[in-house]
Amino acid sequence: MPPATVIRAPEPHEVEALARLHVETWRETYTGQLPDEYFGERMLERRRALWAHLVSDRRDDLRLAVAEACGTLVGFACSGRPQERPQDPEHPPRSRQLYMVYVSRSHHGTGAGQALLDAVLGDEPAYLWVAKENPRAQAFYARNGFALDGIEHPDDDVETFIEARMVR
């Protein structure tokens, strides 16, 4: 990773920047797979609320990290206790879930994604949900010991968007 990239905890004053980065990385990753409204003001408001909650949450199990390059946020990651979902047929398969790792396209291949994953997960057993039509992300997770386990489900809001579970 270039020395200019720093991995650290997010700060409360960064909620707006994190929300915008979240929507932008979704746009870069999922255009053509998710409807355009996923990249609009409604989702930006939802991401603001999410990040305001996350940066103020003091649970011991929640791990957050951001990647910063030249004073600009370029990525983020989060892991924690699993949320029970009907899509998990035998309850969560691990006691830790990776909720997200996103890095701006301009910083793909710099090592920022790996550093973020390491910061919030290390080499612990965990599981995650990944877009079935995101081979780049699946390859990244496979390099980190995750494997598809055959469990898939449609997104709660977009039934044509299929998520696949990966476990290590």
Domain ranges in the chain? 5-167
Crossing angle of helices 15-30 and 41-56, in 10° steps, is: 130
Please, which residues bridge with residue 16 across strands? none
Question: Is the alpha carbon torsion for 115, 121, 127, 129 positive or negative?
Answer: negative
| Closest by CA position to 20, among listed 2, 53, 46 | 46
Measure the CA dihedral 149/154/160/166, to 10°. -30
Q: Which pLDDT band holds residue 91 (cuts at 50, 70, 90)?
A: confident
Residue 159: burial class (beta carbons within 10 Å; 0-12, 13-18, 19+): exposed
Q: Locate 87 and state its tokens.
A: 């899509």
pLDDT at 45: 97
- 53-83 pLDDT, tens digit each: 999 988 889 999 999 999 999 999 999 999 7
Map residue 4 onto helix, strand or coil.
coil
1 — pLDDT class (breaks 50, 70, 90) = very low
| Pick from 106, 55, 61, 90: nearest CA to 165 | 90
Question: Quick check: 132 and 162 in contact, CB under 8 A?
Answer: yes
Q: How many CB atoms neighbour CB 145 within 10 A?
A: 12
Task: Tell me if the domain spanning 5-167 has CATH number 3.40.630.30.
Answer: yes
Please tell me the pTM assigned to this model. 0.93
Do the beta carbons of residue 120 and residue 79 sit within 8 Å? yes
